[in-house]
Structure 1
Amino acid sequence: MTDFEPIAEGAVAASLCRHLAFYRHKKPTYQTVMLNSLLSVWSGPHEKLIDVGGGTGVIAQCMKEMFPVGSVDVVDVVDRFCTTLDVPTHVFDGLTLPFANGHFDAATINNVVHHIPIPLRAPLFRNLRQAVAGPLYIKDHEARSQLDHGRLAILDWLGNTPFSGMVQADYLTMDDWRSLASESGFAITQIARGSYRNGPFEALFPNRLELTMRWERV
């Protein structure tokens, strides 16, 4: 399904400002495009959603408020969650999710996979396949050259440093994404892009670097 109403930047700003003072002075353009790109590949509604690697938890909060879901949980390897959230938060070891098989109907993983050590990626996704009965929605990046790796490293530093997020990364090509999905028991069924940047900034950091996918179980 792709016939959901677009999310307005003002609604995203109102949500984020309740939890992070940073967004009182910074328009959440990137976050709004990301949320709408996820909606563009959404096949829900889903009753129970888990956001994996959710960082401060503010995107999970936005999804609870704006997506066709019943509930949203968020999990990460470190407790950096904002204390003002009203979504359940969890800490895990980065590999084994502390939930029963099929506990969730869908999962989102936003700008996380490139930070996961390569040997741990397929095992994590196989564990996700157990905890999640339905699709995975992944927002991440696609690198096509060494120049792209450099561009993405700069974007990660710019985007994550203000929130003490991870900057160590190993970016994936499209072939890497297909291989990871296959190894984990999934297939990539839909891909979307978005207009995250414009003007000179887009020339330096092309929007093709941004990738949103829906993975389905096979």
Structure 2
Amino acid sequence: MLNLFKKLHHKYVFLRRIDVLSNQIAIQIPDNINLLDIGCGDGTISKMVLDNKKNITIKGIDVFARESCAIPFKMFDGKTIPHTDDEFDATLFVDVLHHTTNIKELITEAARVSKKYIIIKDHHYNNALDFGILKFMDWVGNAPHGVKVIYNFKNLDFWKTTFSELGLEIENINCKVPIYPFPFNLIFGRDLHFITVLRKKEL
């Protein structure tokens, strides 16, 4: 059963997701910046962002070492980002934070090493049905690859409150990210996904 889900997910979601997210992120990020991709995986999305936006540089960190990574890569412990304060112009999380138990701490670390921007792609839910759909999506997308899923999804109020508490202003937020094709988008798309560009408040 897992192998079947893996094949279907790769055919109808995985490749489209990479293409859509890399394009959406490239549109959102400013020109002429250096960016840190936190939880970069094999670097595929960041590499495609670079292909779409030539005038930026991207490095990555992750808690898992891959056999190969499409961008310059460094290991980290999942808590402390191994870079200095304000080393980057922007930091990026792509579907990373809901896999962690320390969301606020990681966003704080991302803000520490960023001069200005924190860009987050993640999920939010409005009700129990949404939460159940997100759990199913996460299981299908990760369990076949041996990735641990903890379903730490949050509602939009949590995200907005967290950003405010951490001194981050929402510069832009998009809750209509077209990852899924029709008719799957009617169930798994809707407004369950978001990409936001956060700016550090000036002291």
| Class of the TM-score when normalised by the shorter of the 2 chains | 0.7 to 0.9
- Which residue in 1 is equivalent to 2:192? 209
Is 2:154 the counterpart of 1:172?
Answer: yes
Is 2:44 the counterpart of 1:62?
Answer: no
Residue 39 of structure 1, CA deviation: 3.0
Q: TM-score normalized by structure 2?
A: 0.84
Residue 52 of structure 1, CA deviation: 0.5
Aligned residue for 1:133, secondary structure, equals: strand
- Which residue in 1 is equivalent to 2:16? 29
C-alpha RMSD of matched pairs (Å): 2.0
CA offsets 1:65-108 (integer angstroms, 9 cap, x no match):
322443211111121x241x342111111121111111111111
Alignment match of 1:151 (pick from 127, 130, 133): 133
- Which residue in 2 is equivalent to 1:187? 169
- Which residue in 1 is equivalent to 2:80? 96
CA offsets 1:111-159 (integer angstroms, 9 cap, x no match):
1111111xx2222212221111121111111111111111011111122
Tell me if the contact between 2:173 and 2:196 (Cα under 8 Å) persists in the aligned partners. Answer: yes
CA offsets 1:16-70 (integer angstroms, 9 cap, x no match):
xxxxxx8xx746112212122223432x114311101112222222223322443
Percent identical pairs in the alignment equals: 26
Is 2:42 the counterpart of 1:50?
Answer: no
Aligned residue for 1:199, secondary structure, equals: coil
Residue 182 of structure 1, CA deviation: 1.5
- Which residue in 2 is equivalent to 1:106? 90
- Distance, in Å, in 1 between the alignment partners of 2:151 and 2:59 is 25
- Distance, in Å, in 2 between the alignment partners of 1:157 and 1:60 is 23
- Distance, in Å, in 2 between the alignment partners of 1:144 and 1:34 is 22
Tell me if the contact between 1:55 and 1:165 (Cα under 8 Å) persists in the aligned partners. Answer: no
Tell me if the contact between 2:89 and 2:116 (Cα under 8 Å) persists in the aligned partners. Answer: yes
Flag the 1:63–1:40 CA change in 2: closer, same or farther, 3 A. Answer: closer
CA offsets 1:149-206 (integer angstroms, 9 cap, x no match):
1101111112223433332221111101111112222121211122222433222223
- Distance, in Å, in 1 between the alignment partners of 2:194 and 2:158 is 13
Unaligned runs of 5+ in 2: 1-6
Aligned residue for 1:151, secondary structure, equals: helix
- Distance, in Å, in 2 between the alignment partners of 1:60 and 1:98 is 19
Flag the 1:214–1:145 CA change in 2: closer, same or farther, 3 A. Answer: same
Tell me if the contact between 2:171 and 2:197 (Cα under 8 Å) persists in the aligned partners. Answer: yes
Unaligned runs of 5+ in 1: 1-21
Aligned residue for 1:159, secondary structure, equals: helix
Aligned residues: 190
